[in-house]
């Protein structure tokens, strides 16, 4: 019976192994087809070949030395060694397994080593194709490329070799002990000649490797994080680096002593040398640097560390691309004077009122149309050239939501019928309808609007189904739902006509994908034909990451219409943490704010970043195009050698695509995180951190929140610019020092994000960073102060309570800060949302602030006029929106356009002027300036008179221009 069972067990084992092998093969074959269809199969092959070769190298480099060491130890064992009873028992147990162990142990260790080395394929390929930076580090005078590409590779090689030698040595000692070549008798250790030679040589080789490792460690000081800076400090340069050089020499000398011992057989000298090495490492490697730091540096740290701090400042600014920043002193005004915005009319007209983080429910309720469509929670900001003018827009894709099908989620529906989203929806950023809804520039099904005509079908989106099977022979019945018809009409069907995925044109490929997606329907369905394609891995970020594994991608990809297609634009970064003297920043922490809460990355601490690639993903066919945006980046040049002919030059970008690329948000966030301290360029001031800044918390998140305020995209004209430009900005407040910190503005950072609209030519100003430095004695309120003022103002609270009536919620939109009128203007849209399930926020009011003055009105245009004494001097983008409660209208002078001014507007303006006059009186009284006191008192008296007249006009009930309605 046992004999009959053996063939059956063997057969079952073989069949099981074949099944497992076929599953593995199916996954590999599917990957090849996916990459091949996309045109990037060479990327997959290069990575696979590199991994396989490195696995073999790692396996051989570990297994062979270990096997040879064990074999030598075994073959040179004493034949007639006297063993104690315990070793005899060990040998009896071990001997039957000896051959298995002597081959099995090296194989197992080799497999682990091979897997470890294979995982470093990227660093090996980068080393083989390294590109010099052309800049030398200030300590050793070596090219920065040495630290980025070479030093990590050399240290990993030495570390691997040390592990091989160490494991070999341990196994040699164990083997010799087991077979009696090493005997311990009381306090005496007896070692055979063969064992002595092998152990001494192994120890000598290990110490030589440690000497090399210690020598390389001196170069690592310029990239190590210290207590004060990243990079070699005074103690490192004068104690640590010389100490490591000395220790490397001592380690090499001790290694030579061990090699001599292998010949002479005397252990005294190498053992004394080993003790000397340990003592030296303690004295030279640890104690001496501590003494230098404690007794020489600490008492005079500011002066001694100054040169090294300066290195850190200069190289950090270089590494993060902020060395060319334009710093502009900005004496921000705080007095809201009439006509102050006249010179900033274009910026004022572009102020964005639609908050992309809030109005997604409005998009869903107004533009979703069917339960199987959806919009993302966070919408995107883009801009289009409409009627010759740039228009900031809020955009989103109408993507699929298969959960909305309910019990209709059959395999046929979810994979063959509902295959794609439909249309891009765009709303004006600076406009709203009379009832507070977005003003759509592109909307509806079919898609209509003012944007250029484009292919509306979205097969590749952020929320596309796991996989869809599309395509059919010519003349076949169309089954893909294109879009639902309105009214009683029939839904429209379509058939995918692009090249978006691998072909399911034979039985084998159908079987492969049936196994990959664990679905027999792919193999059995009669709707899967020779023209069918399977679309999967459809997220734009996922597709770019797979074809460009060396890139770190921006967390925010956005859709736009380019050359008649919807394309996703993805920003790619090249990073390293080995840039000498550059401060290391946590990538995930730097980009986290109230819009983006990023998880820590495997490669999280970085000290160099470049937006080296702009990638596009076609929403219809999923094609990926990589454009080299920073062609001078050495890291990108290196990877272009690894994967040749996969990057296109920026010169191939169309003008329409150029007009929609932007300065990426994550890069900007990292730069603002760096500039919080590194806007200071003098070592002494940096050391004392007397002017350290931080990004303010998002004031709209409420108390207790630790989320930072995100940067915002706006079209505006910064000081130093000739005309408004699409930009991204953020603000700075003093770095928190316990309860003593104040939420006042110290800096305003913006970068020109408009790349122009010429084919393959980047606009000259693109990427120009501008930093407005506000005087320290100036008390321009920060976002937190302004939000607190809005929330605590009694008149505003009374109006908000009215809006909250009827179970409605009041939602504060993004608090924008705009440099206009010689100061900083704060603008915050206020939305109202009822508590019903189908409700959505509608824009009802606008809060504005300038200095200590605030206004709260139905429209931005009206609020600005109130804020600036009845006439702001410029028209906002919503000046034509009728107020919710219109009063008596008048004519505003401004820029010549008619601006509605209500009685409430005039009253609020007079109250603001009265408050300012009272403050002026108090300031003059404290200063003893009686002339100024008299002027302020006279102005206050005049304002009071105007208030009395205004109140009298209201009491008299002047006749309306139109007869009252029957409802009044």
Q: How far apart are the C-alpha atoms of 877 and 874, rounded to whole Å?
A: 10
In whole angstroms, give the CA distance from residue 332 to residue 348: 17
For the chain, helix, strand, coil in percent to 5 are 45, 20, 35
Beta carbons within 8 Å of 486's beta carbon, 6+ residues apart: 445
Of 535, 417, 526, 399, the C-alpha closest to 480 is 417
808: CB partners within 8 A, 6+ apart: 832, 833, 834, 835
d(CA 868, CA 340): 7
Q: Is the pLDDT of residue 76 over 50?
A: yes
**Of 94-108, 659-673, 824-838, 942-956, minimum mean pLDDT range:** 942-956
Nearest to 200 by CA among 250, 113, 273, 280: 273
Contacts 24+ apart (CB under 8 A), 625-632: 626/544, 626/547, 626/548, 626/572, 627/652, 627/653
**Mean pLDDT lowest among 227-236, 373-382, 933-942, 959-968:** 959-968
252 phi and psi angles, rounded to 5 deg: -65, -40
Q: Are 273 and 260 in contact (CB under 8 A)?
A: no
pLDDT above 50: residue 816: yes
CA distance 233 to 312: 9
Predicted pLDDT at 449: 92
Burial class (CB in 10 A: 0-12, 13-18, 19+), 133: buried
Query: What is the predicted pLDDT for the residue at 181?
Result: 78
Among 85-99, 619-633, 939-953, whose mean pLDDT is lowest?
Answer: 939-953
Give the confidence band of 911 by pLDDT, cuts at 50, 70, 90: low
Q: What pLDDT score does 896 carry?
A: 35
Q: What is the DSSP string of 97-153?
A: GHHHHHHHHHHHHHHHHHHHHHTTHHHHHHHHT----S-B-TTT--BHHIIIIIHHH
State the pLDDT confidence band at 948, using cuts at 50, 70 and 90. Answer: low
Alpha carbon distance 251, 238 (integer Å): 21
Average pLDDT, the chain: 87
Q: So what's the pLDDT on residue 881?
A: 57
Residue range 532-543: average pLDDT?
Answer: 96
What per-residue confidence (pLDDT) applies to 216? 96
Q: Does 818 score more than 90 pLDDT?
A: yes
Q: What average pLDDT does the segment 176-193 reach?
A: 77
pLDDT average, residue stretch 696-706? 87
Per residue in 343-368, pLDDT (tens digit) is: 888 888 889 999 999 999 999 999 98
- Which tokens is 627 given? 């454009």
Query: Which H or E run contains 851?
Result: none
Give per-residue pLDDT as tens, 277-330.
Answer: 999 999 999 999 999 999 999 999 999 999 999 999 999 999 999 999 999 999
Pairwise CA distance, residues 324 & 253, whole Å: 49
- Tell me which of 50 and 1 has the higher pLDDT: 50
Q: How many angstroms separate the CA atoms of 590 and 667, rounded?
A: 9
Note the pLDDT tens digit of each residue in 412-421.
Answer: 999 999 999 9
pLDDT, average across residues 747-762? 94
pTM: 0.86
Is the model's pLDDT at 745 over the cut of 80?
yes
How many other CB atoms are found less than 10 A from the CB of residue 368? 18
Which ranges of 458-539 does DSSP label H, i.e. alpha helix?
507-516, 521-524
Residue 965 pLDDT:
38
Q: What is the DSSP string of 539-556?
A: -HHHHHHHH-TTPEEPS-
Pairwise CA distance, residues 559 & 489, whole Å: 30
Q: Is the pLDDT assigned to residue 680 strictly greater than 50?
A: yes
Give dist(CA 960, CA 776) in Å, integer.
52
Q: What is d(CA 442, CA 460) in angstroms, rounded to the nearest whole number? A: 20
Q: Are 345 and 895 in contact (CB under 8 A)?
A: yes
Beta-strand pair 769-773/373-374: unpaired
Q: List pLDDT tens digits, range 452-474.
A: 999 999 999 999 999 999 999 98
C-alpha–C-alpha distance, residues 116 and 489, integer Å: 61
Instruction: Check pLDDT > 70 for residue 87.
Output: no
Give the C-alpha separation, 9 to 155, whole Å. 49
List the structure tokens of 763: 């606009």
pLDDT of 784 higher than 70 = yes
For residue 631, the 8-state DSSP code is: T
Give kind and range of the element (H or E) at residue 421.
strand 421-422
C-alpha to C-alpha distance for 297 and 106, rounded to whole angstroms = 50
Percent of the chain surpassing pLDDT 70: 90
Among 314, 219, 319, 324, smallest CA distance to 634 is for 319
Residue 176, pLDDT score: 85
């Amino acid at each position: 019976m046992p004999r009959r069972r053996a063939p059956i067990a063997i057969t079952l084992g073989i069949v099981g192994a074949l099944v497992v092998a076929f599953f593995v093969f199916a996954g590999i074959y599917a990957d090849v087809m996916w990459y091949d269809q996309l045109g990037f199969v060479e990327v997959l092959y290069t990575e696979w070949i590199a991994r396989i070769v490195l696995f073999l190298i790692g396996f051989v480099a570990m297994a062979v030395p270990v096997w040879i060491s064990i074999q030598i130890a075994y073959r040179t064992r004493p034949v007639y060694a006297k063993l104690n009873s315990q070793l005899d028992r060990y040998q009896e147990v071990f001997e039957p397994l000896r051959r298995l162990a002597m081959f099995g142990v090296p194989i197992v260790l080799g497999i682990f080593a091979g897997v470890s080395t294979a995982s470093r394929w990227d660093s090996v390929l980068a080393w083989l194709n390294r590109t010099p930076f052309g800049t030398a580090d200030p300590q050793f005078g070596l090219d920065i490329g040495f630290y980025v590409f070479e030093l990590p590779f050399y240290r990993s090689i030495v570390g691997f070799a040390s592990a091989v030698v160490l494991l070999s040595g341990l196994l040699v000692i164990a083997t010799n002990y087991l077979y009696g070549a090493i005997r311990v008798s009381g306090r005496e250790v007896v070692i055979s000649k063969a064992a002595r030679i092998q152990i001494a040589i192994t120890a000598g080789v290990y110490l030589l490797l440690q000497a090399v490792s210690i020598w390389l460690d001196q170069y690592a000081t310029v990239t190590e994080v210290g207590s004060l800076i990243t990079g070699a400090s005074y103690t490192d340069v004068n104690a640590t680096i010389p100490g490591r050089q000395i220790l490397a020499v001592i380690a090499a000398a001790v290694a030579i002593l061990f090699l001599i011992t292998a010949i002479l057989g005397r252990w005294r000298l190498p053992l004394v040398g080993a003790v000397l090495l340990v003592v030296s490492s303690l004295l030279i490697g640890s104690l001496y640097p501590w003494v230098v730091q404690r007794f020489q540096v600490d008492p005079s740290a500011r002066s001694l560390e100054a040169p090294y701090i300066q290195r850190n400042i200069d190289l950090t600014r270089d590494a993060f691309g902020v060395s060319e920043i334009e710093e502009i002193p900005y004496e921000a005004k705080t007095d809201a004077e009439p006509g102050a915005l006249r010179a900033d009319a274009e910026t004022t007209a572009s102020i964005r009122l639609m908050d992309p983080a809030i109005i997604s429910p409005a998009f869903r309720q107004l533009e979703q149309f069917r339960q199987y469509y959806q919009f993302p929670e966070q919408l995107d900001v883009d801009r289009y050239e409409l009627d010759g003018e740039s228009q900031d827009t809020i955009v989103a894709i109408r993507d699929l939501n298969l959960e909305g099908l309910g019990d209709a989620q059959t395999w046929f529906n979810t994979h063959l019928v509902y295959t794609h989203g439909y249309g891009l929806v765009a709303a004006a950023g600076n406009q709203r309808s009379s009832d507070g809804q977005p003003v759509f520039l592109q909307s509806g099904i079919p898609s209509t609007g003012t944007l250029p005509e484009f292919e509306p079908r979205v097969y590749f989106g952020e929320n596309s189904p796991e996989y869809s099977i599309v395509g059919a022979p010519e003349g076949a019945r169309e089954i893909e739902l294109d879009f639902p018809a309105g009214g009683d009409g029939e839904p429209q069907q379509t058939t995918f006509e692009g090249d978006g995925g691998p072909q399911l044109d034979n039985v084998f490929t159908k079987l492969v994908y049936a196994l990959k997606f664990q679905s027999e329907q792919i193999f059995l369905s009669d709707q899967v034909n020779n023209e069918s394609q399977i679309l999967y891995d459809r997220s734009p970020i996922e597709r770019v990451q797979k074809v460009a594994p060396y890139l770190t991608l921006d967390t925010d990809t956005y859709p736009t219409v380019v050359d008649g297609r919807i394309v996703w634009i993805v920003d790619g970064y090249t990073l390293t943490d080995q840039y000498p003297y550059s401060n290391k920043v946590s990538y995930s922490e730097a980009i986290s704010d109230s819009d983006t809460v990023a998880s820590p990355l495997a490669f999280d601490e970085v000290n160099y970043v470049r937006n080296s690639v702009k990638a596009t993903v076609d929403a219809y066919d999923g094609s990926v195009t990589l454009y080299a945006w920073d062609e001078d980046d050495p890291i990108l040049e290196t990877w272009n050698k690894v994967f040749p002919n996969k990057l296109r030059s920026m010169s191939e970008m169309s003008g329409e695509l150029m007009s929609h690329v932007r300065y990426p948000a994550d890069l900007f966030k990292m730069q603002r995180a760096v500039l919080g301290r590194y806007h200071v360029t003098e070592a002494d001031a940096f050391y004392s951190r007397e002017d350290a800044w931080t990004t303010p918390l998002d004031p709209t998140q409420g108390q207790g929140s630790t989320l930072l305020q995100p940067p915002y995209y706006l079209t505006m004209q910064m000081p130093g610019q000739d005309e408004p430009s699409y930009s991204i900005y953020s603000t700075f407040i003093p770095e928190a020092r316990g309860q003593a910190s104040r939420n006042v503005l110290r800096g305003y950072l913006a970068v020109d994000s408009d790349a122009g609209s010429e084919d393959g030519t980047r606009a000259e100003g693109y990427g120009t960073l501008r930093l407005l430095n506000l005087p320290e004695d100036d008390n321009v309120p920060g976002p937190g102060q302004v939000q607190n003022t809005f929330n605590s103002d009694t008149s505003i609270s009374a109006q908000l309570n009215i809006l909250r009536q009827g179970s409605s919620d009041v939602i504060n939109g993004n608090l924008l800060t705009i440099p206009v009128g010689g100061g900083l203007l704060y603008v915050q849209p206020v939305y109202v949302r009822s508590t019903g399930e189908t409700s959505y926020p509608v824009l009802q009011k606008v809060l504005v602030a300038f200095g200590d003055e605030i206004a709260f009105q139905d429209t931005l245009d009206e609020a600005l006029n109130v804020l600036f004494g009845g006439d702001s001097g410029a028209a906002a983008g919503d000046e034509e929106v009728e107020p919710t409660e219109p009063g008596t209208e008048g004519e505003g002078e401004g820029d010549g356009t008619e601006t509605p001014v209500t009685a409430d507007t005039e009253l609020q303006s007079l109250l603001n002027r009265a408050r300012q006059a009272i403050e002026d009186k108090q300031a003059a009284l404290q200063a003893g300036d009686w002339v100024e006191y008299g002027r302020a008192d006279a102005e206050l008296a005049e304002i009071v008179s105007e208030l009395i007249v205004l109140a009298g006009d209201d009491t008299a009930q002047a006749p309306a221009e139109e007869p009252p309605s029957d409802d009044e």
